[in-house]
Amino acid sequence: MGLTLDDNNTLENEIPSWGSSLPVQNVQEMVKSDPSNVPEKYIRSSEERPDDANISPLSSQIPVIDMSLLSNGNKDELNKLDFACKEWGFFQVINHGVTEEMLQKTKEAADGFFELPLEEKNEYDMSPDDIQGYGHAYVVSEEQKLDWSDILVLLIYPERFRKPKFWPTTPANFKTIIEAYSAEVGRVGVELLAAVSLLMGMERGGMISHHKEVMQALRVNYYPPCSRPDQVFGFSPHSDTSSLTILLQDFHVTGLQIRHATNWVPVKPVPNALVVNVGDVIEILSNGKYKSIEHRVVTNVIKARISFASFICPADDVEIGPLDQMVDGHEDLKIYRKVRYGDYLRSSIKRQHQGKAHIEFAKLEDENESELFDSSSIEAIRVGTLGIILSDGRGILQGIGISWFHK
Ligand SMILES: O=C(O)CCC(=O)C(=O)O
Ligand SMILES: [Fe+2]
């Protein structure tokens, strides 16, 4: 097959590939044909299920950040952001400048797409080697449990990475609206990263330059109603591999829950607010000071829910590791190693979502574990030695010895 130039004049095979997901049944269609059916593949084990006993009443304590104050350099608001990123890893943003009309139009565009007949939506089907398009993500084995949702993933920035074949042409204004909304979200992301830069001891532009070229991806999540919301997840517990995620959620249907201590806190919609969370990149750069919090989505019996997750990420070849100023120059305090962002992202996409397990890729050996094996704390008895003595013929001997010990 020859190379094709797309609408952005990019050779399609110059667009990096981040991974793929196995094709699975369309959930929206499954519910349409039999609303009471919940196949075994979606039913979680009793230890894993959404459990009402662990639901926290602290929803109203999730911090609300006023972006207009933040942009005007208000110190109290900056301190509030510091607290939010440290203690919650999640916050809602108000006065962000994205108009109510735009939020509404964005939701209508997605409603219009998901209402299309399956055959039409399938024109945007993810190809087997891609995570862009209409389908599912993080399905890596035939055995794993599945999420009660369908998704549409689009790479927005850099523009040359877009694949127009995945952009719905119905509703007719889908592209214009999603582009306009995403540009606004990009602006909010830059503003928030400027504030985070100040908190991490940099100039306002520090984080953005650290990203080299911001990559922004959009995942539109569609969660159909489910007759057994107590047994399934709309989205399995996970943390995001982004720097920041900016989420537009349904203002009437609650579904998102975030981990706080040992409980799960529902993120109750604040009208016209955007929900923002710290992603793994900021957790790694800040050496764990700012937390990329595990979150999950639960379903309900009555109403479908749509959310728009915009992921703000660094360029593929950016090295991410704890910034020196976050450990006061103490190398030994670093809990993460330096990794190439593209490698981090790819290693996480290869895995099934299992909370924060994927961040291990960037973890240095656990301090406590290494203490456990500190030789000074072990009284060992040498039980054997294997030695090899080599002579170079001039009487100079070299020895190699391997000893084994028993405590
Ligand atoms: O639907 C939501 O509220 C959250 C979605 C999410 O966590 C994600 O897309 O990464
Ligand atoms: Fe997420």
CATH number, domain of 86, equals 2.60.120.330
Give domain status of residue 314, yes or no. Answer: yes
Q: What sign for the dihedral angle of Cα 256, 149, 243, 319?
A: positive
> Is the minimum distance from the CB of 247 to ligand 1 under 6 angstroms?
yes
> Is the minimum distance from the CB of 241 to ligand 1 under 6 angstroms?
no
CB 209 within 8 A of CB 194: no
pLDDT confidence band for 361 (50 / 70 / 90): confident
Pair (296, 379) in one structural domain: no
| Nearest CA among 114, 56, 73, 67 for reference residue 92 | 67
pLDDT at 372: 37
Residue 154 has pLDDT above 80, yes or no: yes
> Is the minimum distance from the CB of 220 to ligand 1 under 6 angstroms?
no
> Is the minimum distance from the CB of 231 to ligand 1 under 6 angstroms?
no
Pair (83, 230) in one structural domain: yes
Pair (261, 377) in one structural domain: no
- Testing ligand 1's pocket by substitution, the residue of 256, 257, 348, 353 carrying the most ligand atoms inside 8 A of its CB is 256
> Is the minimum distance from the CB of 221 to ligand 1 under 6 angstroms?
yes
pLDDT per position as a tens digit, 205-237:
999 999 999 999 999 999 999 999 999 999 999
pLDDT at 12: 61
Percent of the chain surpassing pLDDT 70: 86
CB 233 within 8 A of CB 147: yes
pLDDT at 336: 96
Pair (242, 378) in one structural domain: no
Give domain status of residue 2, yes or no. Answer: no
Pair (178, 59) in one structural domain: yes
Give domain status of residue 4, yes or no. Answer: no
pLDDT confidence band for 76 (50 / 70 / 90): very high
Q: Ligand 1, closest atom to CA 245?
A: 10
- Rounded to an integer, the average pLDDT of 312-325 is 96
Q: How far is the CA of 85 from the centre of ligand 1 (A)?
A: 18
pLDDT at 11: 58
Q: Ligand 1, closest atom to CA 223?
A: 1
Q: Between the CA atoms of 97, 215, 109 and 4, what dihedral angle is there, to the nearest 10 degrees?
A: 150
- Rounded to an integer, the average pLDDT of 90-104 is 98
Q: Between the CA atoms of 143, 145, 147 and 152, what dihedral angle is there, to the nearest 10 degrees?
A: -20
Judge if the upstream peptide bond of residue 117 is cis by omega within 30 degrees of 0: no
Domains identified in the chain, total number: 2
What range does the domain containing 337 cover?
12-364
Mean pLDDT is lowest, of 18-27, 237-246, 311-320, 338-347, for: 18-27
pLDDT at 165: 95
ipTM above 0.90, yes or no: yes
Cβ < 5 A residues, ion ligand 2: 240
Mean pLDDT is lowest, of 87-96, 129-138, 293-302, for: 129-138
Give domain status of residue 63, yes or no. Answer: yes
- Rounded to an integer, the average pLDDT of 362-368 is 73
Q: Which residue blocks in 158-213 are alpha helix, DSSP H? A: 174-199, 206-210
Helix (H, G, I), strand (E, B) or coil at 98: coil
Pair (242, 388) in one structural domain: no
- Rounded to an integer, the average pLDDT of 318-328 is 96
Mean pLDDT is lowest, of 100-109, 131-140, 188-197, 338-347, for: 131-140
pLDDT per position as a tens digit, 4-36:
444 444 556 678 888 777 888 999 999 999 999
Give domain status of residue 7, yes or no. Answer: no
Residue 189 has pLDDT above 90, yes or no: yes
Pair (380, 358) in one structural domain: no
Pair (82, 173) in one structural domain: yes
pLDDT per position as a tens digit, 252-281:
999 999 999 999 999 999 999 999 999 999
> Is the minimum distance from the CB of 311 to ligand 1 under 6 angstroms?
no
Q: How far is the CA of 284 from the centre of ligand 2 (A)?
A: 17
pLDDT at 1: 35
Q: How far is the CA of 309 from the centre of ligand 1 (A)?
A: 6
Percent of the chain surpassing pLDDT 90: 75
How far is 23 from 27, CA to CA, in rounded Å? 12
pLDDT at 366: 66
Pair (257, 110) in one structural domain: yes
Q: How far is the CA of 365 from the centre of ligand 2 (A)?
A: 26
> Is the minimum distance from the CB of 309 to ligand 1 under 6 angstroms?
yes
pLDDT at 387: 40
| Nearest CA among 343, 217, 236 for reference residue 284 | 343
Residue 93 has pLDDT above 90, yes or no: yes
Q: How far is the CA of 15 from the centre of ligand 1 (A)?
A: 25
Residue 358 has pLDDT above 90, yes or no: no
Pair (316, 377) in one structural domain: no
How far is 82 from 133, CA to CA, in rounded Å? 36
> Is the minimum distance from the CB of 249 to ligand 1 under 6 angstroms?
yes
Give domain status of residue 91, yes or no. Answer: yes
CB 307 within 8 A of CB 147: no
Give domain status of residue 246, yes or no. Answer: yes
Q: How many CB atoms lie within 10 A of CB 59?
A: 15
pLDDT confidence band for 193 (50 / 70 / 90): very high
- Beta strand 305-313 with 244-248: parallel, antiparallel or unpaired? antiparallel
Pair (330, 372) in one structural domain: no
Residue 368 has pLDDT above 60, yes or no: no
- Testing ligand 1's pocket by substitution, the residue of 114, 245, 258, 267 carrying the most ligand atoms inside 8 A of its CB is 245
Pair (190, 239) in one structural domain: yes
pLDDT at 339: 96
Token couple for 259 = 């981990």
Give domain status of residue 6, yes or no. Answer: no
Q: Ligand 1, closest atom to CA 295?
A: 7
> Is the minimum distance from the CB of 297 to ligand 1 under 6 angstroms?
yes
Token couple for 107 = 């939701």
Which amino acid is residue 359, in one-letter code?
I
